[in-house]
Amino acid sequence: MPTHDSGPHDRTGTDPIEESRPKDFIRDIVAEDLRTGKHTSVVTRFPPEPNGYLHIGHAKSISLNFGIPKEFGGECHLRFDDTNPSKEEQEYVDSIMEDVRWLGWDWGTHLYYASDYFGQLHDWAVHLIRTGLAYVCDLNADQVREYRGTLTHPGKPSPFRDRTVEENLDLFARMKAGEYPDGSRTLRAKIDMAHPNLNMRDPVLYRVLRATHHRTGDAWCIYPMYDYAHGQSDAIEGITHSVCTLEFEDHRPLYEWFIEHLPVPHKPRQLEFARLNITYTALSKRKLLELVQKGYVAGWDDPRMPTLAGIRRRGYTPEAIRTFCEKIGVAKANSVVDLAFLEQCLRDDLNKRAPRRMGVLRPLKVVLENYPEGQVEEMDLVNNPEDPAAGTRKVPFSKVLYVEQDDFMEEPPKKFFRLAPGREVRLRGAYFITCTGVDKNERGEITELRCTVDLNTRGGSATDGRSPKATLHWVSAAHAVNAEVRLYDRLFTKANPEDYPEGQDYKANLNPQSLVTLAGAKLEPSLVSAQPGLIVQFERLGYFCADRDSTPGRPVFNRAVTLKDTWAKVQAKDKAESGKGAGSR
């Protein structure tokens, strides 16, 4: 479709779709290539290495690679970059496919593996040998490093650089046949040992490596390096725009060198963008793997992990993640996106869609002294004020209730307008109540509140027009569902986890409060058999997702994100100010 003269971008500015379409330098290039007729449709690829779980950073790449062909017409391939069998596993390819699908993308029939091309890649290596552009090198890894030179000094040629084509052909065949031990020989491109770009100093194409590959088994004992495999895989698949992250910018000359010197069927173009970073978050595979393997978290899908599996379990939606990826933009400047931005994308999505429910995290018993013993009323509660179509539900109300401990203060400060002795508040969708007494135990701790209820305020409004400043959530004690609630917070205490004390590492910044488990939460009865994955808003608290650890009659909920909390902000400010005052004295 994108072949007509005006091109897909030449529409009027009033088109709402046009206005909401993401715009960035990569899409500009794609649009230009389509406009000039360089390409008639776009083919991209998302090329994960199956050596770990996908994380939110990958979501940015997925959003770009799948989003572009969707917008401009074309297709995106899912290709596993599986050239290093010592690190790669089937578990990871399964999780990666699940996560990409979960995000809502579809690669159709275009599922590929770099290992599909091992045969072709090998034949092309032979071609390079025949044309005098590759040689078998007997230097070991340490020697290769020595010969490579440094950033500021040129390297020197390998003593094996000038072997004859025949000898190279024979040696390479024997490498392939398994005649040499791991690491003893490599096939290298013959480019320029004095090149200012180290990637061009006779890079290794093949290494001898005996490891069972998750797909090819023990068929090979030589494996191609990334640089040699990636571009040619792109060429084989007819990729038009090979989008990768900035650290590969230095590799582009090599990428192009291979394409130039090999009889490939197509010439792809590599484009680089800045990878995603988020405050209070670690997004390197090395770190995530360490957190999992050393037990700092409970697995790849621990809800504190930035993996797609983790944030999915936590309660993030694919829609929120996709919106996030679109809104952060794509550029070449290194940047760190505020975690608050991700959280806000989730709230925006869930605010419109998540059913409202009542759940008391830290229960405080309330006895309504003037409410009839044994009476139960079914109150009508709105499921979602943002969505009338969501309807209402019945919630039982009775003489003994639970409210949130945080919603009562015996000696309230000026700005606190929830429940306090002598004060009236509204119970959401029920009645106004007034606190008349406070019971305490021998240690002076509050055990329960005594209140009176105004029976003329049923449903939550008074005929005389008075309106309490606060509305509280509540649960009928006799009908409450006991639940476990897991309060998750940022995994790291520092915006930059790399900012650690001398002699330590990023793990010094792990947040000991990243998980707080509340075993005694009380939920409204409608949640008794919440299915894992159900996401609701606990009114006034945040969005919570039923966890797979839920058991019949005892749900477990994960807090995905809190609601914005103005009161918490006021408290924090007051605390900071009083602290400052004391300090200056």
Binding to RNA (CB under 7 A): which residues in 363-392? 384-386
Which of 44, 95, 186, 558 is close enough to bind RNA by CB under 7 A? 186
Q: Is 25 in the site for RNA (CB under 7 A)?
A: yes
- Residues 86-145 close enough to bind RNA by CB under 7 A: 87, 139-141, 144-145
The full DSSP string for 187-242 is: EEE-S-TT-SSGGGSS-EEEEE----BTTTBTS-SEEE-HHHHHHHHHHHHT-SEE
Instruction: Show contacts with RNA in window 490-549 (CB under 7 A).
Output: 537, 539-540
Pick the catalytic residue from 285, 287, 450, 507.
285
Among 174, 394, 548, 573, which residue sits at the site for RNA (rule: CB under 7 A)? 573
Structure tokens at 536: 């609701």
The β-bridge partners of 377 are 397
Match 């950073």 to its residue by tokens.
57
Task: Answer yes or no whether residue 566 interacts with RNA by CB under 7 A.
Answer: yes
Q: Scanning the structure block, which residue is given the tokens 């009033």?
A: 14
**Which pair of tokens denotes residue 106?**
């579809």
**Residue 287 found at the interface with RNA (CB under 7 A):** no
Stretch that binds RNA, among 53-61, 92-100, 225-233, 500-508 (CB under 7 A): 225-233
Angle formed at CA 541 by CA 536 and CA 542, multiple of 5 degrees: 45
Nearer to RNA, 51 or 493 (CB): 51
Of 256 and 386, which CB lies nearer to RNA in the complex structure?
Answer: 386
Shorter beta-carbon distance to RNA: residue 302 or 524: 524
The Cα 417–Cα 213 span in angstroms is: 64
Structure tokens at 59: 């979501």
Applying CB under 7 A, does 428 fall inside the site for RNA? yes
Which residues are registered as beta bridge partners of 43? 75
Q: Does 181 bind RNA (CB under 7 A)?
A: no
Determine the straight-line distance between the first and last CA of the chain, rounded to whole angstroms: 73
For RNA, the closer CB: 76 or 244: 244
- Are 557 and 524 within 8 A, CB to CB? no
Concerning whether 260 is annotated as a catalytic residue, the answer is: no
Distance CA 314, CA 138 (A): 51
Q: Is 338 in the site for RNA (CB under 7 A)?
A: yes
CB of 379 to RNA, least distance (A): 9
Q: For residue 127, how many other CB atoms are within 10 A of its CB?
A: 14
In the complex with RNA, which residue's Cβ is closer, 19 or 162? Answer: 19
Least distance from C-beta 147 to RNA, angstroms? 9
Of 27, 35, 49, 148, the catalytic one is 49
Indicate the helix (H) or strand (E) that contains 72. Answer: helix 56-72
24 binds RNA (CB under 7 A): yes
How many CB atoms neighbour CB 182 within 10 A? 13
**Minimum separation from the CB atom of position 339 to RNA (A):** 9
Among 163, 241, 423, 426, which residue interacts with RNA (rule: CB under 7 A)? Answer: 426
**Residue 326 annotated in active site:** no
Q: Which of 24, 62, 58, 19 is nearest to 330 (CA)?
A: 24
Looking at the Cβ atoms of 163 and 302, the one nearer to RNA is: 163
Out of 15, 38, 341, 372, name the contact with RNA by CB under 7 A: 341
Question: Nearer Cβ to RNA, position 202 or 302?
Answer: 202
Query: Which one among 193, 274, 400, 477 touches RNA, defined by CB under 7 A?
Result: 274
Min dist. Cβ of residue 552 to RNA (A)? 28
Whichever of 302 and 542 has its CB closer to RNA, that residue is 542
Catalytic: 286?
no
Q: What is the DSSP string of 337-368?
A: B-HHHHHHHHHHHHHHHPPEE-EESSEEEEEE
Q: Looking at 24-32, 92-100, 102-110, 546-554, which segment touches RNA (CB under 7 A)?
A: 24-32
CB of 51 to RNA, least distance (A): 7
Annotated catalytic residue, options 275, 327, 332, 353: 275
Residue 263 CB contacts under 8 Å (≥ 6 apart), including other chains: 124, 127
> For residues 532 and 549, what is the distance between their CA atoms, to the nearest angstrom?
8
Q: Which of residues 196-215 bind RNA (CB under 7 A)?
A: 196-199, 203-204, 207-209
- The answer to whether 466 contacts RNA (rule: CB under 7 A) is no
**Cα 221 from Cα 43, distance rounded (Å):** 32
Q: At what angle do helices 165-177 and 118-130 cross, to 10 degrees?
A: 160
Distance CA 495, CA 173 (A): 52
Q: Is 55 in the site for RNA (CB under 7 A)?
A: no
Residue appearing with tokens 């950033």: 151
Binding RNA (rule: CB under 7 A), the pick from 60, 251, 269, 322 is: 251
465 is an interface residue for RNA by CB under 7 A: no
CA–CA distance, 517 with 298 (Å, rounded to integer): 14
Question: Which of 35, 39, 45, 49 is the binder for RNA (CB under 7 A)?
Answer: 49
Q: Which residues are catalytic?
A: 49, 275, 285
